[in-house]
Structure 1
């Protein structure tokens, strides 16, 4: 056995046990490269599917965000990723790669930076699809609905005074850096991580491809929708829409905080954005891709963010925020529908990119 094949065999043994000799012979040479070191034979990547968590095993049980992509896209090639949260998986035929970053903007930023600097992978022409579940504003959409974002807003970079100590004329004790309080009419300062704008042309292209798709529905989420009287969009069957994403490390819940999220998004997007989904990772992910773009390791104009509602961000009428949060923590009412929506909607875009790859490798759609 040659030195390269011995190295490949060693990597494959670490990745999950003995592999037949024929499979070793067919394995890309990149797997013989050591994580974090130079690699003369990087794997070409056309699409990176970014997920944030998995539940239990990677396949064969209740799915998290990663499992459907792994099983249905035949992401069978395991790539050890000790510098990240979870090993990578790749399909050498489609050249789709999936990463599980871990939950929260700290983990997402570090995982994406580690991925982008990994010389075993050529990500220079890759498209990035963030596909994750989210809280969803019932004023805009229903659970199971999937929203394509243009603006990614950070909900953590701020000033805060405890509400019990704030001036009586303040609506909230939480306000942007660079302002003297929530009532300060000063325009937004130059953003420093508070907001990121994605390629609007690519977002609109993805939305146009998917807006008429029929998304999964079931009696369980239909019953949950009916509780949201007075919210017509919350009572609709799941649908595809355009809507922006607010990322914060705190899992918040309630109508008052949803009002804050809407105000915060409008402020940082200068009235151009519309808060629809809440999650924890996007600003970390895009900040890392921004930095990687500067050195040619990624292309931030090829980033798409798709979030599907697994739960409403506030309770239905007649239920307290505390009671509803505890209820949702027992199991998100729209989890299964959201995961299916993410896969179906995201796959429509992925399939379109791959079907005409010579064109889309060269030119980003718009």
Structure 2
């Protein structure tokens, strides 16, 4: 059937070309009487547009409704304030792309979950319309935070991204008596073996020097506050950091497709990040996408399509990973939803902190195109 279709198309194309050629001849005869000869169709050169150089890719994960003018999700502030006005159809993924052609900032919305983030970033990395070889990648999204580390509205730069899905699991009601948890690594015989199994994608370490540069650049950004949030945080008497005004810190990310919640799972998250980072990372934020993003960029780097060392991950606190005082885990989880109490404050924090990094890179692009910011600063210090 396919062969017949191809033959049919070939025949139709030949007929069409013959008609066009005869029409062209007639035009050429007429043209010699009144003006220069028209170039025959067969000799007109076709060119492929040069790919658009991108300076920064802002990676958001969701939008609530429209991209502008209604309740904001992660993308809306970036689209409006960075003037991402040029739309590119992106049917191979979750959401169309938007570019500011003057600044070279490109915005994407991956969709929720590691599967969507991985496929979206890979699709963009292989898109011939864009040159991403020098691009910096900024993940800017909301998440759940451990109240031991920070308050609602705070912003954390991550260096370690740990996956919360690749594992063995036994229901807690069926645990062996000497096991502390039913969650344990693949290719192991129980919880937290001394010798860490080979990394199958459970942990990604991104460029720590770039993370530190971003943190130092933004650590004093005023994140604002919210009266109702300020009142609510007074209840977290056992968590001094949760009682602070929103602030910028460094802290690592656990990415998993399950929206988990509660004290016991929070303990697991802290231990899991500590284990896979071999004591170098510290759990602060819980989200769903960042290991997928990192995995695709790692592969794209190997293919010469992107630079894994230019990835930065910024997460802001829209809610906590444990219940509010006086609530059970179930009550706390079910009281949340799309409209987290700290949603708008955390979205504003993500933009205020992330945009300082984006604007710094764009405004001095002649330098940062070929040199990492921290390398430039070291050169200035010498």
TM score, norm. by length of structure 2: 0.84
Q: Contact 2:185 / 2:197 at 8 angstroms: preserved in 1? A: no
Q: Contact 1:229 / 1:316 at 8 angstroms: preserved in 2? A: no
Q: Contact 2:114 / 2:289 at 8 angstroms: preserved in 1? A: yes
Q: Contact 1:39 / 1:120 at 8 angstroms: preserved in 2? A: no
Partner of 1:127: 136
CA distance in 1, matches of 2:338, 2:65: 16
1:92-118: CA deviation from partner (whole Å, max 9, x where unpaired): 000100010000000000000000000
1:208-247: CA deviation from partner (whole Å, max 9, x where unpaired): 0011111120111112211212100001000000000000
Number of residues of Structure 1 aligned to a counterpart in Structure 2 = 328
1:59-101: CA deviation from partner (whole Å, max 9, x where unpaired): 0000000000000011010000011110000000001000100
**Equivalent of residue 222 in structure 2, options 210, 214, 218:** 214
1:172: Cα distance to partner?
1.2
Cα distance 1:121–1:168, how it changes in 2: closer, same or farther (>3 A)?
A: same
1:259-294: CA deviation from partner (whole Å, max 9, x where unpaired): 000000000000000000000000000100000001
Q: Contact 2:160 / 2:203 at 8 angstroms: preserved in 1? A: yes
CA distance in 2, matches of 1:192, 1:39: 39
Residue 318 (str. 1) matches residue 313 (str. 2) = no
1:39: Cα distance to partner?
4.7
CA distance in 2, matches of 1:330, 1:348: 27
Residue 165 (str. 1) matches residue 174 (str. 2) = yes
- Once the two structures are overlaid, the 10-residue window that deviates more, 316-325 or 122-131, is 316-325
Partner of 1:360: 368
1:53: Cα distance to partner?
0.3
Q: Contact 2:125 / 2:305 at 8 angstroms: preserved in 1? A: yes
Counterpart secondary structure, 2:319: strand
Partner of 2:75: 66
Partner of 1:13: none
CA distance in 2, matches of 1:185, 1:60: 51
Residue 223 (str. 1) matches residue 200 (str. 2) = no
Partner of 1:44: 53
Instruction: Pick the structure with greater CA Rg.
Output: 2
**Equivalent of residue 357 in structure 2, options 328, 340, 349:** 349
Residue 156 (str. 1) matches residue 170 (str. 2) = no
Q: Contact 1:55 / 1:63 at 8 angstroms: preserved in 2? A: yes
Counterpart secondary structure, 1:185: coil
Residue 246 (str. 1) matches residue 254 (str. 2) = yes
CA distance in 2, matches of 1:193, 1:124: 24
CA distance in 2, matches of 1:329, 1:40: 44
1:330: Cα distance to partner?
6.2
Partner of 1:274: 282
Cα RMSD (Å): 1.1
Residue 102 (str. 1) matches residue 139 (str. 2) = no
Q: What runs of 5+ residues in structure 2 fail to find an aligned partner?
A: 1-46, 375-382
Q: Contact 1:148 / 1:243 at 8 angstroms: preserved in 2? A: yes
Partner of 1:191: 199
Q: Contact 1:217 / 1:237 at 8 angstroms: preserved in 2? A: yes
Cα distance 1:269–1:365, how it changes in 2: closer, same or farther (>3 A)?
A: same
